[in-house]
Amino acid sequence: MRSRTGVLFVVVTVLYLAAGLYLSLGVGYLQGDALSRVADTRAALLSRDPHLAAIGFIFTPLTALLQLPLVWLSAWIPGLTTWSLTAVAVSAPAMAGAVVQVNALARERGCPPWLTWGLTAVFALHPMIVYYGANGMSEALFVFLVVWAVRRLFRWMSTDDVHDLMVAGCALGLAYLARYDALAASGTATLLVGAVAWRRSRRPAVAILDGLLVAAPTVLAFVAWAATSWLITGNAMAQFSSRYGNAAILEQSGGGSGGGMDALTFSLAEIVVLAPALALVGVVSVVLAVRRRDPEPLVLLVLLAVLTFAVLTYLRGMTFPFLRFYISAVPLAVLCVVFIAPRRGGVRARRLGPMPAERRPDPMVGVRPVQVVGLLVVVAGLPVSAFAMLSPALSQEQHALHTAVVPWLGYSDPDLRFEQQAIIASFDTERRLADHLDALGLPEGSVLMDTVQGFPIIASTKRPDRFVIPSDRDFVTILNDPAGHGVQFMLTVPNEGRGTSDALNLRYPTIHDNGAGIATLVMEVLNSGNDRPTWRLWRVNR
C-alpha cells in the first residue's frame, strides 16, 4: 500500500508539474501573487542586500521559504524565477500531497477500492485543483495541510493516538504560515477535539490538554510570525496594516465587496460552481452520520470553517472576489462522499491512546447505490467547475485560461478575448524591461525602484543586485539622495491605484510626471499586460 501511495504521489506531482510547465513556459500565463512571492524570495537571497527578512511580511512565508533552494539556483538559471517555476516546484508536490491524503482517508474510512480511487481521481483532476497545483500559488500548500489535518483528526477519533493529534496540530500550524485562513481551521479543530475528548472522558483536564496539543502549533506560528515581523519591521501585523498590506491593496484597487446580499450571493455562487454536488452529498452524509451515530464526519467542520471564514470576510468587505478563496469546497465535497461510506475495519495506530473508540461497522444495506450516486454527482460537477473557471464574472483570476488553454471554445465578446490576451501578456513588458536593463551592464545598486509593481523585474533580471529595492536596509537613505549613492536610473509607475503606495511616488509625488527635478526621462514603456502600469525609465541627474 505504501508503494502504491508513492506511485500516486509521483504520478500526480508529474501531472501538476507538466501542467505548470505548459502554462508558464508554453503559454506564458503566470499568477501575479505567485510571481511576487518568487521575487521576494529572490530578493532575500540574491539582491544587493541579501537577508532573510527581505522575504517580506505581507505574504505568509511558508511558500516562499520552501522555494529558497531553487531560487538560489536562479543565480545561474534566471529562467527558474522569470517563469515562476520555483513556485510550481512547491505547489505541484503540495497539491499531490493533498491527493494522497484524500486517498488515504478514503481507504482508512473503509471505502471500497472503486470508490477510493474514483474519489481520488475526481479530486486530483478537478480543474481548480489541477490549476492551483500547477500555478505556484500558496493554495496548494494550504489545501494539503488542511486536508492532512482533517485526515489525522479523523484517525484520532478512533485511535486517540497522540501522534494523530500532534500531526494534525502541526499541519494546522504550518497551514497558518501558508494562508491566514488557517486560523479558522485551527480554532475549529481545537474546539472539536476538546469537545470529543470531554465527551469521552468527562474530564475537563483531558479536553484542555488534547485541545492544547492541537492549538499549540498554530499559536506558536502566530506568535512567531508576529514577533518576527515586529522585531524586523516594527509592525506585528504587517500583512493587515502596512501600506503594502491587504487593507491597503483593497483600498487602492477598489476590489472589495460592497457587502450585503450581493456579497453573500456571490460567495454562494462561487461555492456552488466549485462543488455543485456539495449541498446534496453534504446533506446525505449528515443524515447518515446521525442515523449511524457516527462522529467521524465531524472532522469536516474544519473545512467548513475555512469556507465560512471566506464567506464572512468577503461579506465584511475584507477580501477580493476571488474563486480560490473557496477552494476548500472541493475537498469538502469529495470527503462528504467518503463519509457516506460505512465504517469498516480499524485504523492502525502507532501508539493507541488512553481512550481509543471502537469502530463498530455500520450496516451496509442499501448504501452502495448512494455511494454510486455520490461519486457520479461529484464527477458531474467537474465540467461545471471547468466552465465556471472560464467565466470573467465568477473567476476573475482564472478566466484567461480560456484563451490560454481552450481557445477553440469560441468567444462571444471580442473585448473579452482582448482582455484575456492582455492577462496572459502580463509581466511580458517587465521581462523585456529587465532584459533591457541587463543589457546595459550596469554596476550594483544602480537602478532604484519599488517592488510593489516592479516585482516581475526582480524575478526576471539576471542581476537582482543591480536594483535598489525597499527590502534593502539602506533603501530610505538611497531614496532620499539617489544621485549621491550611485543610482543611475529610476523606474516609476503612475501615482494612482496601487502605484500610490510606490515608495518613489510617496517620496517624490510628481516623479512619474516630470522627474521631480532629479531625473531626466529616458523612455516610457507602455504595458501590454492587463491592469499593469505604464513604466517610465529615468536617468538620475548628476
Output the smallest distance, CB 214 to other proteins, in A.
11
Closest approach, Cβ 173 to other proteins, in A, equals: 9
CB neighbour list of residue 293: distance below 8 Å, 6 or more residues apart: none
Touching other proteins, residues 47-86 (CB under 8 A)? 51-52
Q: What are 539's strand-pairing partners?
A: 489, 520
Q: Applying CB under 8 A, does 351 fall inside the site for other proteins?
A: yes
Q: Tell me how many residues contact other proteins (CB under 8 A).
A: 27
Smallest distance from the beta carbon of 210 to other proteins, in angstroms?
Answer: 7
Q: Does 195 bind other proteins (CB under 8 A)?
A: no
* Dist. CA 59–CA 41, nearest whole Å: 11
* Least distance in angstroms from the C-beta of 185 to other proteins: 19
Query: How far apart are CB 434 and other proteins at their closest, in Å?
Result: 27
Complex with other proteins: residue 125 or 355, whichever CB lies closer: 355
Please state, in angstroms and as integers, the Cα–Cα distance from residue 203 to each residue in 172, 197, 199, 206, following that order: 25, 8, 8, 5
What's the sign of the alpha-carbon dihedral 226, 230, 233, 236?
A: positive
The distance of closest approach from Cβ of residue 161 to other proteins in the complex, given in angstroms and rounded to an integer, is: 9
409 near other proteins (CB under 8 A): no
Q: How far is the CB of 472 from other proteins (least distance, A)?
A: 14
Smallest gap from Cβ 482 to other proteins, in A, equals: 26
Among the listed ranges 13-21, 109-117, 123-131, 200-208, the one in contact with other proteins (CB under 8 A) is 200-208
Residues 483-512 that bind other proteins (CB under 8 A): none
Contact (CB, 8 A) for 109 and 154: yes
Q: Nearer Cβ to other proteins, position 227 or 372?
A: 227
Query: β-pairing, 519-525 with 535-540?
Result: antiparallel
**Residue 522, φ and ψ in degrees, nearest 5:** -95, -50
In this complex, which beta carbon is closest to other proteins, that of residue 350 or of residue 542?
A: 350
Name the residue among 335, 342, 325, 324 with its Cα closest to residue 282.
335
Handedness of CA 152, 274, 272, 269 (dihedral sign): positive
Q: Which of residues 163-182 bind other proteins (CB under 8 A)?
A: 163, 166
Task: Quote the crossing angle between the two packed helices 329-340 and 113-125, to the nearest 10°.
Answer: 170
Residue closer to other proteins by CB (options 162, 299) is 162
What element of type H or E holds 519?
strand 519-525
Nearest-approach distance from CB 213 to other proteins, in angstroms: 6
What residues from 226 to 255 belong to the interface with other proteins (CB under 8 A)? Answer: 227-228, 231
Residue 393 contacts other proteins per CB under 8 A: no
Quick one: which of 27, 212, 250, 516 contacts other proteins (CB under 8 A)? 212
- 297 near 338, Cβ under 8 Å? no
Given 65, 216, 312, 318, the residue binding other proteins (CB under 8 A):
216
Closest to other proteins by CB, 60 vs 426, is 60
Give φ, ψ of 347 to 5 degrees: -100, 125
- Report d(CA 128, CA 149) in Å as an integer: 21
With CB under 8 A as the contact rule, the residue among 208, 440, 483, 522 that binds other proteins is 208
- What single string gives the DSSP state of each residue in 415-439? HHHHHHHHHHTTTHHHHHHHHHHHH
Q: How many helices (H) and strands (E) does the chain have?
A: 25, 5
Q: Does 366 bind other proteins (CB under 8 A)?
A: no
Residues in contact with other proteins by CB under 8 A are: 51-52, 162-163, 166, 203, 205-206, 208-210, 212-213, 216-217, 220, 223-224, 227-228, 231, 349-354
